[in-house]
Structure 1
Amino acid sequence: MVKIGIMGLTGCSGCQCEILNCEEAIYRLIEKVEISYFPLAQDNNSFGEFEILFVEGSVTTEEDERKVKEGRERAKFLVAVGSCACYGGVQSQRNDEASLEEMLLAVYGRKELPVKVQKPRAVSEVVKVDYELPGCPLDKRQFVYAVASILNGVKPFFPKIPVCHECKLSETECLTLKGIPCQGPVTFAGCGAPCTASGVGCQGCRGNCDFPNFEEMVEILKKNGLSTGDAVKFLKVFRGYQSKEIKLSEGVVENEKGA
């Protein structure tokens, strides 16, 4: 029987919980495959060979790195799930602003910890990743679609259109036009835009859409009341290594440094 594994690294386990929330789909899945490794959900686990290994969380410790490298060797397909695994997540948003020692001192008050830690990294920065299912948490419908596609020999396809597209389809009033900070124009759609439908601006948890215009996005956020520095920090929260794509004009960068 086809074997599937679900591994957790450094993270909140929210994406693994969302997989469990698939409910009916999970029941149907276990009729077709064996979920042989899922420590969050079951006691009996076998870390053997996998058709698909789903990995949640960022690589933040030496143990994380060892586990994901071993998982890559054992898996035919490795799928990163959630923003932490795909981009580094919230915990990596200040990677370019402080050293690891400075981070440890600020958070723990000391440089030495019982475990060997490192700056948080996306899974793809450590091993080859076949597919990514971003989000905080991931969208469970995309998880079901990805599993079904891979098991049927079909490459999952997720067009990287902006969240604004989904707002248009659902006839959700544009929050940017109402003066609410929203990252919809530069963020990868696929979640169904539940935040904007509830009146909350998109937080960018699914990472970059294709060809994001961050310079213009910063200008829009400034019109909505944020300083340049706060606008850039707002955009960086979930993006991890993708934050390197936030390339601003020379004048804007200078304003950011002085903010």
Structure 2
Amino acid sequence: MTRPRVAVHKFSSCDGCQLAFLNLGETLLQLNEQVDILHFLEAGMNDASADVDIAFVEGSLSTPDELTRIRQVRANSRYLVSIGACATSGGLQALRNLDGNHDEWRDAIYARPEFIRTLKEVRPIAAEVRVDLELWGCPVSSTQILAAIRALLFGVAPVDDRDRVCLECKRQQAVCVMVTQGIPCMGPVTRTGCGALCPRFGRDCYGCYSPSETAQTATLARRFSGLGLLPDAIARRFWLINSQAPPFLQTGRVFHRSAASDPDD
């Protein structure tokens, strides 16, 4: 029988989510005995136009060339899986969407801006093509990737865990930093997947995974206000890794407008 074919594609990103594959170590070698990895530049395989069963895509869409390329990846793939915050919500690159002065920033940063071809706004993969599965995180976890591959190879739907980080903290017996120390924490509105890594080491969650299911962002923002955060600081809490995820984007806008209307705040 023909072995399933897999590709890993990079778009605008830092390569951190591709490293989640390489960090599998020996498990990646075992996986390579079950599937044919045809394209994965980080690991030395280069066949970007290969027809595959599963295509993993890291990174956001930031240039016109990337729009063309992602359409080709979609056409060549049975399943397309976006991995990491850049691919699922635009990531840190999407912070420039909030300013609206694309040309001014480009001209200020680059010595020869006439050679720079970028989109006016950064887009997640799902904004341009159909995505079969989104794996959130900055970076995505190796465990998530391996579980998704195994599920897809067996023809079952991968589990989409939307539990909040708070629930993972309880499972890990981590002390709540917001309750015990008064530290503003994004855990109540952020989905787990990280294993509650930051709270287990005594620091707040900063929302590197996506909004959790039924995320009560407005309620958490009011709690942040009660802890002493000013409106603009609250907006920045939501406008960080996943600024374009709708619940985070909307709540950030509310408090950003509040800060703008009261410059003394």
TM-score range, shorter chain: over 0.9
1:239 paired to 2:242:
yes
1:256 is aligned to 2:239: no
For residues 116-155 of structure 1, the aligned pairs below 5 Å read: 116-155=118-157
Secondary structure of the residue aligned to 2:114 is: coil
* Residue 103 (structure 1) shift: 2.9
C-alpha deviation, 1:148, in angstroms: 0.2
**What is the one-letter code of the residue matched to 1:234?**
R
SS in 2 for 1:211: coil
1:55 alignment partner in structure 2: 57
What is the SS of the residue equivalent to 2:202?
Answer: coil
Shift in Å, 1:44: 4.4
Match of 2:115 in 1: 113
- Is the contact between residue 235 and residue 253 of structure 2 (CA under 8 Å) also seen in structure 1? no
Cα distance in 2 for partners of 1:3, 1:248 equals: 41
Q: Is contact 2:234–2:252 with CA below 8 Å preserved after alignment?
A: no
Q: What's the offset of the Cα at 1:90?
A: 1.1
**SS, match of residue 163 in structure 2:** coil
| Residues 61-93 of structure 1, C-alpha deviations (whole Å, 9 max, x = no match) | 112111111000000000000000011001102
Q: Distance in 1 between matches of 2:144 and 2:11?
A: 21
Q: Does 1:162 align with 2:174?
A: no
Tell me which amino acid in the other structure corresponds to 2:187.
Answer: G
Output the amino acid matched with 1:26.
L
Cα separation, 1, equivalents of 2:254 and 2:156: 46
2: CA distance, partners of 1:251 / 1:41? 43
For 1:246 and 1:9, the matched residues in 2 are separated by 23
Deviation at 1:250, TM superposition (A): 11
**Pair 249,122 (structure 1): closer, same or farther in 2 beyond 3 Å:** closer
1:114 positional shift: 3.7
Where does residue 194 of structure 1 map in the other structure?
Answer: 197
Where does 1:6-155 land on structure 2 (aligned, <5 Å)?
A: 6-45=8-47, 47-108=49-110, 111-155=113-157
Tell me what 1:172 maps to. Answer: 174
2:238–2:248: 8 Å Cα contact kept in structure 1? no
Amino acid at match of 2:188: P
- Structure 1 residues 254 and 137 mapped into 2: Cα distance closer, same or farther (>3 Å)? closer
- 1:167-206: CA deviations, max 9, x gaps? 0111111111212221000101121011111122111111
Counterpart residue identity of residue 64, structure 2:
E
Change (3 A) 1:93 1:227: same
Change in 2 beyond 3 A, CA 1:138/1:211 = same
The 3-state SS of whatever aligns with 1:77 is strand
4+ residue runs over 6 A deviation: none
User: Secondary structure at 1:160's aligned position in 2?
Assistant: coil
Query: Contact between 2:38 and 2:45, CA under 8 Å: does it hold in 1?
Result: no
The answer to whether the 8 A contact 1:236-1:243 is kept is: no
Percent identity, aligned pairs only? 30
**Residue matched to 1:212:** 215
Whole-angstrom distance in 2 between the partners of 1:138 and 1:55: 12
Tell whether 2:226 aligns with 1:223. yes
Sort the Cα spacing of 1:248 and 1:237 in 2 relative to 1 into closer, same or farther, 3 A.
closer
CA pair 30-251 structure 1, distance change in 2 beyond 3 A: closer
User: In structure 1, what is the Cα distance between the partners aligned to 2:40 and 2:217?
Assistant: 38
Following TM superposition, by how much is the alpha carbon of 1:10 offset from its aligned partner in structure 2, in angstroms? 0.4
d(CA) in 2 for partners of 1:196 and 1:6?
31
8 Å contact from structure 1 (residues 51, 76) kept in 2: yes
Looking at structure 1, the residues matched to 254 and 203 of structure 2 have their Cα atoms a distance apart, in angstroms, of 30
- Comparing 193-202 with 145-154, greater Cα deviation is found at 193-202
